[in-house]
Structure 1
Amino acid sequence: MAFEYHVAKNGSDLSEGTEQSPFLTINQAASAAVAGDTIIVHEGEYREWVKPKNSGLSETRRITYKAADGERVVIKGSEQIHDWEQLEGSVWKTSVSNDLFGDYNPFKEEIFGDWVVYNPGRHLGDVYLNGKSFYEAENLEQVMNPSIQTEVLDHWTNKVVPAHNPGQSKYDWFAEVGENKTTIYANFHGEDPTKESVEINVRKCCFYPVETGVNYITVRGFEMAQAATPWTPPTADQPGLVGPHWSKGWIIEENVIHDSKCSAISIGKEGSTGNNYRSKRKDKPGYQYQLESVFLAGQAGWSKEKIGSHTIRNNTIYDCGQNGIVGHLGCVFSEIYNNHIYNIALKREFYGHEIAGIKLHAPIDVQIHHNRIHDCSLGTWLDWQTQGTRVSSNLYYRNNRDLFVEVSSGPYIVDNNILTADYALDNHAQGGAYVNNLIHGEMVHRKMLDRATPYHVPHSTEVAGFAVTYGGDDRYYNNIFIGKESLKEVGTVHYNGYTASLEEYIEVVHQNPGDHEAFNSVEQPVYINHNAYLNGAESFERENEKITADQFDPDLNIIEEGDEVYLSFVLPDNFEEMLGSVQTTQTLNRVRIVDADFENPDGSEVTLDKDYLGEKRQEKSVLGPITKLQKGRNYIKVWG
């Protein structure tokens, strides 16, 4: 029989957990609930790290944690600090006992791990004034003298920029950790911390199991914030503010998640498969340790039967230092949709090669669709083993970069997306199908011949082989490319010199004797047709049917009106003269290296017959992500 447990701020952990006699803490309910049970949490702030103990048994026998209908329930990784002493001007200090932190003091723990590139001694701790996070100063002098402005290298744009966002007051803190106490100095700029709400983060996570294999959990309707999460590269344990910790079948939905020091939602791997060995042992490249983690994961039960298949939907995620959603290996077979992700890694307190709104390694058969991703250092980054992955009908804007696919052999699909950053796409992969997208911005295409990455038996975690990234084996159909005077390589021009069919490729490869050397030098086939190139965007030299309006400026704008977002741009008079066909498994040639077809995750034939708005495409329809696009001015609601 399924039970319903209740948690409320007027409860007691000695109670029975009923609606009339509720528990006080969520963890007490977690220790009681078993498969099929529901935990209802009532209004209030719960300052605890919820550690689910018991597992659900199936999709229909879950353990559900949910906020009571219509009630605001907040789970925080922080504690309030009231005892502040004014030092000088707007600078105050407080000393807290290290007992508050237990064995994990975020003000002692540095940002550390594989692929951390820039960190001038910053830590996992943070200070919040009325919910707004401060910046960590590099020394006490910067706190005492707020006029000192530091600069950092923005690694995405390669420009030196202010360490703080322009126009933002410099709210800084600095901490000194002693044997028994941690002293925090903070510049409150005229605010009185004894009268305002001031919090410091003390817990690593808000909702994350300690043990692995806690399956079939639903987390619904909470606000979760202010966790001291560590740096989460693919070669480390990857705890997030919330996540399943190497389990199967979680549903994380309808939550508001913010102010995670590093990552908000983690669907990544655990520590036994490697934990920052590159940075600790220093004896091998991180690349080598990442290869090893794939095989260690297999020994730890990495399979469709035991790991992944998570659903992340309808969440709002913002103000995190590294990722909105992160995961290596544990993300397989998952679905991520209808999430609003913004303000990720914009504080520039630290930098590394694992930062994005969504950053996934080995996203086998992961479906990422209908998300709104903006104001991020990078919108979505799919890295290693991107196979069976589909990125569909997502809205990207005001990101430093929109989409990055790296060292993968496909097949993967990018369809019906709106990408509007000046730096729209990094394609350091092969075996992709880009169909019916609107791409406004620079596109960078690179080979990666110095490191081979795994590919898999279709729809499985079983490794089938390894391959370097030769570049090409890509398909571009029915896209709209929009250039700009200051940008280069917008469109498909970077494929000039590539072969245009597998038959041609094989013929050229075998013109000279040898084995692998020829494959390194002959360009893989590409399949490119029925695209539009506007305002300086350039086409592949062998594209037969296309629309070109080199001097036509579409005047593209993304307009926010409250919770709604609109796409505004102009299309040339000849736009409707050429139509594109619906692409399917049958029309998208199978990828060369993996020798696999473009399919749905269940192995059925894929048909790209729905547009960005969910409208059915005719057998022939206009180019781009929205079927109702027309010549002249278009003004279309694309979110809300």
Structure 2
Amino acid sequence: MSLKTVYQPYFRMGAAVPAQVFESTTALGELCAQYDSMTCENEMKPQFLLDEGENRRNAAQYDRCPAVCFEGVRKYLDFAREHGMKMRGHTLVWHNQTPGWFFTEGYRGEEDAPLADRETMLARLEGYIRQVLEFTQTEYPGIIYAWDVVNEAVEDGALRRSLWTETVGEDFILQAFRFARKYAKQDVSLFYNDYDTFIPWKRDVICEQVLKPLLSEQLVDGMGMQSHMTMNTPDLEEYEKSLRVYGSLGIQIQVTELDIHNADPSASSMEALAARYREVFTILTRNKKEGTADVTGVTFWGMQDDDSWLTGFRGERSFPLLFQDGFRPKTAYQAVLSVPGRVEGDTQDRLPGGERFAFWEKAPVFTREYHVNAAHPEACDENDGSMEHPFATIQAAANLAGSGTRVWIHGGVYRECVHPVCGGNGPEEMVSFEAFGDGEAVIKASVETHDFRRSEGWNLIPPGAQVSLPEGLQIWETRLNPDEFRGYNPFCAVNILHDRLFIEYEKTDMTTYLNRRGMVFCDGKPLKQVSLYNQLGSTPGSYWVEANGQTVHFRLEDDSDPAQHQIELTCREQCFAPEIPFLSYIRVKGLTCAHAATGAPVPQRGAISCYRGHHWIIEDCKIDWSNGVGIDIGNECWHHTFRENQIIGHTVVRGCEIRDAGVCGIAGMFATDLLIEDNRIEGTGWQKMELSWEAGGIKVHNSVNSLIRRNIFTKTFRADHLWMDVGNENNRITRNLFLDGIEQREAIFIECSRDGINLIDNNIFWNVEGRFRPEDIPSEPGSTGWYKMEETGEINGYAVYGEGTDRLHVVNNFIGRCRSAGYFVKSVAFRISGNGRGGTSREARIVNNMFYDCGEAAIKFPTKDNDSQGNLYVKMPGGYLRILYPAPENCLDLQAWQEFYGFDKEGQEGFFAVEVDTEKLTLELKKADRLPEMRHHGTGRQNYITEPEKVLPVKASMETADDFDGDARGERRVPGPFAVLETGRIYELDPRKRK
């Protein structure tokens, strides 16, 4: 997440660096992180390079070639070389900050000293330029890529009168460029640089009297537009016109000294600053893209407000840059990062840092194909794998499939675990396993059993119990065939075996953790595992496993004869998984993988497993009834040693249906650059193992630069729809549906993430039930509840919940029916990741969302060090806006929220109905049939919007321009994810239809 990364396709991003930066490791770190170019604020100006003492002492020796000292600039050049940065040289020739003695005979310093003649000054000019260029190009080759040869030579409608014009004459510009061209390397660009380059008369003088004469001798490569601006000047239409005029000359354009003076640090003023920066960068980027101006660099004059030259120059505190004190990014920073997405029209593909997601897929080229068709009469693993002579098993093809191979899998059931033995060589040379399309291709980690007998010799009634058994009860048993369970018997293994030490046993029901991994299916539907044999009598559709894991007893739902049904027993851990780690560039497409007997994570081992490989594509697949994990795409666990240059992630999971995963749908530990899109993840968490800490529709650790979009999460049981655990940075969660969280504490949980921004935008949240015991909620008889100092915290149920996480941005979402709150974050000071700090839960931005009918609150901020703007609150309870600390907490209405904290200046309150059909995936807005009881009768303090059409547009977020449909919106938009709000309209919500 940096300026240089986002603008790399367009131009360099640089900063002018004052000398004090080298006294701060933080400043130097930010310099490297954000910029790929730097300019000395002063140290390369003649005043700092000319050696006054040496020239005075030996005036005759240096009369025609001045002594120069480079010690002050070496730290800049050394730093640039060590950190792979480039530099702009600023400046060779300037009327200012060139000492007056330099122009006198014998380098005399007296005011009345006679000036040197033209011949002498030309010799000094050439000698100075030659020495500076030879020093930088010899000792620091390739570091300085551009020089401002002449600076600010135009004034009052003509060339500026200066000591240069007095000694050399008005052709000093031409002479300086001739000398610079003579000594500059071919890859060094030469610029003329000036301020107020947008003023029409100045633009004309620069073009006619400076640039065109230089161009006639091919002496100049570029125009430097300094661009010191204010909030009102220049007029940006005139600025763009100037940019295009200079661009029409066929030269480079660089913005060399950009800042925007602003003396007002208020939030509204900083928003206005952000908007102006966004307009400026839109002009620069658009013209670069369209070819009307070859913009090759933008340099900010300073790195943070605290160091800006404007404060001293203007005589008033200025806040003109993208970073406030401590290098904390301002809204303007986010606004600048958002520009390329707006210009390119691909905002839906952009991450919070502004860079486009790193799409890596290419059309693969296959040089070999194999066919697998178990139903073919000639199928045999000894065949050649042709269409006419296919393999019987997928593994037979996998044994031969190398880079550039496609394995076609024809319709049928394949009872095996496929172990690819080779990965691809890149995006165009993948190894692909694909359904052929002539029927569903199913890989099952189970076997059919037909060996049934009546279960005898076991008590169905517990000792001493007075229980009557149901009429017609039939218990059956089947013994496992050792040949089918060789190497892995899930009926011998309990769900959790590995890394269970963190479980808090005293508050955890361990039953499901200690259940066996093996599953039993009747006609494709699972039976329920019970812990004791006698529980079969009270549980139709159940099974029990003997201690040695060799015999399974079961009862069908209707007590029928299993011989009349298909009975399947899981016998393999996975369906598709390498046995060799780090195989990469593999595609799995269109397959159904069912009945995987995976254990509870960690380790994270899915029905489909990348087994620590990278650059996999898993698309259009179905995962059905995985005991633990559906798909794993990460490093499996935290116990592996780390290999140098190890890559984990860059995986695509697209268009899949992941249904009824016992613990986790998709698991990605330490996986970065993930693209998870257009999937339906339903019924996750039936194992009730959420306290294994690895449960969720999606569970990731240390995810960086990932895009999770257009997915449907529904009916997740107890677990989170999405859990992002530890060290997540620059991830975007956008245009998803988070529906019907059953006994769910939160829909999204982002934990222990401190750096960068994680953006949650344009999603639909509906019905987060909460996970708590109602009997634990203390009663509040009479007026007891009125006078409590803080809430007890037993009730939960949140759309977005964070622990120890900073800079969460929640923008343009619809958040409805959360049992507790739409947004809630705790500071959790001692949740420390690695050697880092604890979380402050500050600098969250809750912007332009629609909150609807939340049980306790819309927003619970831990402290006031966050921001909330432009939100719409509909059907909210009293005190629905809360600041929790310092105690006692504040429970506020919108008016107090605005008055005392400055939040939601454009906030609105509504009282109308929203209905979401989570089966049909539709949403409807309805006009209110009543108004709530008013506290302020006749005062006008409570103005509820009762018709959705009357919701007012608010200022659009700087960081994301698009809506739920993926379309870009203007400067103002209604709160929430939709472009318009209309009563009675049926909004189709399935995001997969909006690719």
TM-score of Structure 1 vs Structure 2, range by shorter chain? 0.7 to 0.9
What is the RMSD computed on CA atoms of the aligned residues? 2.1
> Does 2:861 align with 1:494?
yes
Distance 1:239 1:228 in 2: 10
Uncovered stretches (5+) of structure 1, i.e. residues with no partner: 148-169, 275-292, 455-464, 499-524, 585-606
What is the DSSP-based 3-state SS (H/G/I as helix, E as strand, rest coil) of the residue aligned with 1:53? Answer: coil
Distance 1:32 1:268 in 2: 26
**Structure 1 or 2: larger helix share?**
2
- The correspondence for 1:186, drawn from 554, 559, 574, is 554
Give 1:119's aligned residue.
510
> Does 2:911 align with 1:569?
no
Deviation at 1:355, TM superposition (A): 1.3
Relative to structure 1, is the Cα distance of residues 39 and 408 closer, same or farther in structure 2, using a 3 angstrom cutoff?
Answer: same
Give 1:558's aligned residue.
917
Relative to structure 1, is the Cα distance of residues 177 and 24 closer, same or farther in structure 2, using a 3 angstrom cutoff?
Answer: farther
> Does 2:754 align with 1:411?
no
Distance 2:372 2:532 in 1: 43
Q: Which moved more, 1:82-91 or 1:532-541?
A: 532-541
Q: TM-score, normalised by structure 2?
A: 0.50
The aligned amino acid for 2:915 is: L
Equivalent pair of 1:215/1:249 in contact (CA under 8 Å): yes
- The correspondence for 1:96, drawn from 480, 491, 507, is 480
Please show how residues 265-276 of structure 1 align to structure 2 within 5 Å.
265-270=631-636, 273-274=638-639
Deviation at 1:559, TM superposition (A): 4.5
Please show how residues 198-213 of structure 1 align to structure 2 within 5 Å.
198-213=567-582
> Does 2:765 align with 1:425?
no
Give 1:3's aligned residue.
368
- Give the count of matched residue pairs: 519
Distance 2:826 2:689 in 1: 29
> Does 2:971 align with 1:611?
no
Give 2:734's aligned residue.
392
Relative to structure 1, is the Cα distance of residues 301 and 65 closer, same or farther in structure 2, using a 3 angstrom cutoff?
Answer: farther
Q: TM-score, normalised by structure 1?
A: 0.77
Give 1:153's aligned residue.
none
Give 1:131's aligned residue.
524
Give 1:289's aligned residue.
none
> Does 2:657 align with 1:312?
no
The aligned amino acid for 2:975 is: L
- List structure 1 runs of 4+ shifted beyond 4 angstroms: 574-577
Give 2:810's aligned residue.
434
Give 2:446's aligned residue.
78
> Does 2:380 align with 1:12?
yes
Deviation at 1:66, TM superposition (A): 0.2
> Does 2:490 align with 1:106?
yes
Report which structure shows greater RCO (CA 8 Å, sep ≥6): 1
Distance 1:546 1:575 in 2: 16
- The correspondence for 2:845, drawn from 461, 475, 479, is 475
Deviation at 1:490, TM superposition (A): 1.9
Deviation at 1:555, TM superposition (A): 3.4
What is the DSSP-based 3-state SS (H/G/I as helix, E as strand, rest coil) of the residue aligned with 2:914? Answer: coil
What is the DSSP-based 3-state SS (H/G/I as helix, E as strand, rest coil) of the residue aligned with 1:467? Answer: coil
Identity among equivalent positions (%) equals 24
Higher Cα Rg, which structure: 2
Please show how residues 88-487 of structure 1 align to structure 2 within 5 Å.
89-112=473-496, 113=498, 114=500, 115=502, 117-120=508-511, 121-143=514-536, 145-146=537-538, 170-178=540-548, 182-188=550-556, 189-233=558-602, 237-270=603-636, 273-274=638-639, 296=641, 299-301=642-644, 303=646, 306-329=647-670, 331-348=671-688, 352-377=692-717, 378-399=720-741, 400=744, 401-409=746-754, 410-422=756-768, 423=797, 424-428=799-803, 429-440=805-816, 441=818, 442=821, 443-453=823-833, 466-484=836-854, 487=855
Distance 2:644 2:390 in 1: 38
Deviation at 1:347, TM superposition (A): 5.0
Relative to structure 1, is the Cα distance of residues 245 and 559 closer, same or farther in structure 2, using a 3 angstrom cutoff?
Answer: closer
Relative to structure 1, is the Cα distance of residues 22 and 574 closer, same or farther in structure 2, using a 3 angstrom cutoff?
Answer: closer
> Does 2:543 align with 1:543?
no
Distance 2:691 2:532 in 1: 19
Relative to structure 1, is the Cα distance of residues 86 and 446 closer, same or farther in structure 2, using a 3 angstrom cutoff?
Answer: same
Q: Which moved more, 1:424-433 or 1:412-421?
A: 424-433
The aligned amino acid for 2:965 is: L
Distance 1:65 1:316 in 2: 17
**Structure 1 or 2: larger strand share?**
1
Distance 1:581 1:308 in 2: 37
Distance 2:421 2:953 in 1: 55
Equivalent pair of 1:358/1:381 in contact (CA under 8 Å): yes
Which whole-Å deviations, capped at 9, do the CAs of 1:338-377 have from their partners, x for residues lacking one?
Answer: 0011111135378532211111111111110000111002
Give 1:39's aligned residue.
407
Give 1:635's aligned residue.
986
Deviation at 1:574, TM superposition (A): 7.2
Which whole-Å deviations, capped at 9, do the CAs of 1:93-143 have from their partners, x for residues lacking one?
Answer: 011233421232101111114355443230111100011111111111111
